[in-house]
Amino acid sequence: MKLSLSTIVTIVILAFGALAPFIFGGQPYILYVLTLALCYTIPAIGVNILYGYTGLVSLGHMGFAGVGAYTTALLMKDVGLPFVPSLFGGMFAAGFLGFLVGIPCLRLRSHYFIIVTLAVGMILFTLFNNLDGLTGGAEGLPGIPRPGNIEIGSFVLDFRSLTGFYVLTFIIAALTFGLQYILVRSDFGRSLSSLRQDESLAAARGVNVFGHKLAAFVLSTAIAGVGGAMKVLFLRAAAPLSFDMNESINLMMMLILGGAGYLVGPVIGAITFIALPEFLRVAAEMRLIFFGFVLLILARFAPRGICGAAEVAYRKLANKEANVVRYT
Amino acid sequence: MSAILEVSDISKSFGGIQAVNGASFTLDHPGIYGLIGPNGAGKTTMFDIICGRQVPDAGKVLFHSSRVDGVEPYKLSRQGLARTFQECRVLPEETCLDNVLFAAQSKRMTSEMLQVFTRNTKHRRDAEVEARRLLRLINLEQYADQPASDLSYGQRRLLEIVSCFMSKPRILLLDEPASGINPTLLNTLRDFLVELYEETKIVFLIVEHNMEFIMSLASTIIVMHQGRVLMQGAPEQVQADESVIDAYLG
């Protein structure tokens, strides 16, 4: 059986992710950075479905992640619900808000839609920052409990430990990745992709442009809600600054860096975006400049991100058509 | 028997410009129809109104007795109206085969969601056999697995047309299919359209400026001039008509 480049990369990333607790068991800092990167991978996958496949740019996505985060945190902290229903609560809250925002906004042309998402993100940030009684305001919401233990016979996985929480985040990120994989290979994924390539043609072939965009937007915001929830559970505190405009733009940059429209693009982008600055802390003053240069070089020489550059290199090496493209 | 497509008293203006002014015609039986006229005659506006891209100011469009003016293009497509565009449109990132298969796929979201796990089902394999047959008819089978962006303009035009047939339309609207196609490919296109008409026996409505192409292909010609239908008849009648010669053919 011949494996495509995307399959090989996926297997390598999944294997690395699964083995990371064993490889970096004695290095909690690396595991911390990887867990944080996974927390960003989840909403980046949501943005990939929206931008990479459907062609819609959202600059307020971390606002929706914040809705998922605060909902999950409040359900666990104040209501006392267990982790799974709380996470679903956060996911549905973010998705429902995406639905409400999507209905009026998705009929707008591209740049107006981008501006509206930016505005929605800013409104949500203002709400997180000012609804003191609910969100804790600018001080945030501390003391969010982590999920309890899982006991399978004599095996106990403590999610309050760094390793345990890494495993939990990895499982959720892998499930989100699996959902993305199934989705983009389906007829629905093909319809979304057709919208990005030519909306008029898609409509002429029977695609309900508004309906499909709305479905993609809701799905994407719901996934962002899950990512936001995992982030605040990991940090054990929810703060408005975790979901502001800069974070939304960072999320978009992660995707562009990794490669929009590639299955592994959001994974590679999130890991690179989160991990690279962390590992450049040795030169704290220079790291942002260095990072800026990396982005400039990528924008100039690899506009389709790391995955796009890898695809080109693979084609040259193999002297054949690479199979990394989307749902092939 | 009711007409397949009936266009009645359609008017449409853009600001102060009256693009279509009370135009009417009827396509009452299967056949290849040509829609011709000088620039500014209102052909493209009429075409867009039939396809749902424009809403008429007045008049109505009936498709198999159902009123369809103002109906969204995706709904018309699901009712069996397939179209091509004046500027050739294909999905550039998809392979030629996927372009054709995409036209065959049900775009209803519920069925799409249900089919999330069924990419390689028998239905898709059957569709693939038909898609390859159609690609063979236009000599594109060898490019089946290449991205559509790799094709020449003329080949992309053929791919766009062939994709329409995969949705098993009841009426096919072609907007200047011969434009930008070299003479060799034009013969392929003509043969292909005739062959598919013989096979499907549906209505083909073709907007065209290439007189030689349309007159040799269509059984009925509709002539538009200044937003109105000047004449509808057989190609020989149209070519001999004084008013058409004055207005368009020269």
- The predicted model gives B107-125 an average pLDDT of 69
Structure tokens that stand for B102 in this block? 């995409």
Residue A316 token pair: 């040259």
Cα separations (Å) of A88 from A43, A76, A147, A208? 15, 11, 14, 28
> What's the pLDDT score for residue A69?
97
In a domain, A325, yes or no: no
Q: Is the interface score ipTM higher than 0.90?
A: no
Test mutation, A185, A205, A218, chain B, max B CBs within 10 A: A205
Q: Each residue of A107-127: pLDDT tens digit?
A: 887 789 999 999 999 999 999
Given A187, A205, A209, which is nearest B115 (Cβ)?
A187
Q: Phi first, then psi: what are they for A321, rounded to 5°?
A: -70, 125
Q: If you search the block for the tokens 């199979």, which residue do you land on?
A: A323
Q: For position B132, which CATH number holds? A: 3.40.50.300
pLDDT > 50? residue A322: no
And the tokens for B86?
Answer: 């004046």
- Kindly state whether B226 is in contact with chain A, defined as any CB-CB distance less than 8 angstroms: no
Alpha carbon A25 to chain centroid, angstroms? 25
In a domain, A16, yes or no: yes
Tell me if A187 and B111 make a contact (CB, 8 A cut-off). Answer: yes
Number of domains in chain A: 1
B70 in A contact zone (CB under 8 Å): no
pTM to 2 decimal places: 0.89
**Distance between start and end Cα atoms, chain A:** 15
Q: Give A148-174 pLDDT, tens digit per residue.
A: 887 777 777 788 899 999 999 999 999
| pLDDT band (50, 70, 90) for residue B242 | confident
Q: Can you give the residue range of the structural domain that contains B191?
A: 5-249
CB contact under 8 Å between B92 and A197, yes or no, is yes
d(CA A105, CA A164): 40
Cβ contacts (< 8 Å) between A197 and chain B: which residues?
Answer: 91-94
Token pair recorded at residue A89: 């609560």
Neighbours of A152 (CB within 10 A): 7
Whole-number pLDDT of residue A275: 83
Residue that the structure tokens 């011969």 belong to = B178
Report the first-to-last Cα separation within chain B, whole angstroms.
37
B124 in helix, strand or coil?
Answer: helix
- Which among B89, B109, B119 has CB closest to A185? B119
DSSP of A187-221 = HHHHHHHHHHH-HHHHHHTT--HHHHHHHHHHHHH
Is the pLDDT at B16 greater than 90? The verdict is: no
With 0-12 / 13-18 / 19 or more C-beta atoms within 10 angstroms meaning exposed / middle / buried, residue A220 is buried
Q: Which two tokens stand for residue B34?
A: 């040509």
Look at residue A36 and tell me if it is in a domain. yes
The number of distinct structural domains making up chain B is 1
User: For testing the chain A interface, which of B51, B87, B88, B91 should be mutated: the one with the most A CBs within 10 Å?
Assistant: B91
3-state secondary structure B93-109: CCEHHHHHHHHHCCCCH
Q: Evaluate whether residue A74 is within a structural domain.
A: yes
The three-class DSSP label of residue B207 is: strand
Q: Nearest Cβ partner of B102 from A205, A208, A326?
A: A205
**Cβ pair A211, A199 in contact under 8 A:** no
What CATH number is associated with residue A128? 1.10.3470
Query: Does residue B112 or residue A130 have the better pLDDT?
Result: A130
User: Domain containing A284: what range?
Assistant: 5-136+148-318
- In A, minimum Cα distance to B74 occurs at A206
| Beta pairing, strands B31-36 & B220-225 | parallel
Angle at A173 between CA A171 and CA A178, to 5 degrees: 90
Contact between chains at A186 and B51 (C-beta distance less than 8 A): no
Confidence of residue A325 (pLDDT cuts 50, 70, 90): very low
pLDDT band at A132 (very low <50, low <70, confident <90, very high): very high
User: Which of A182, A183, A204 is nearest residue B73 as measured by Cβ atoms?
Assistant: A204
Could you say which residues from 79 to 98 on chain B have a Cβ atom under 8 Å away from some Cβ of chain A? 82-83, 85, 89-95, 98
Of A186, A204, A207, the CB nearest to B115: A186
Determine the pLDDT at residue A273.
87
Cross-chain CB nearest to B117 (options A182, A198, A321): A182
Pairing verdict, β B228-233 and B220-225: antiparallel
* Chain B touched by A198 (CB under 8 Å): yes
CB within 8 Å: B74 and A186: no
Neighbouring CB atoms inside 10 A of B30's CB total 16
> In Å, how far is A176's CA from the nearest CA of chain B?
15
C-beta separation of B219 from B201 below 8 A: no
Q: Is the sign of the CA dihedral B176, B179, B181, B182 positive or negative?
A: positive
The nearest CA of chain B is from the CA of A219 a distance in Å of 13
In tens, the pLDDT along A227-278 reads 999 999 999 999 999 999 999 999 999 999 999 999 999 999 999 888 877 7
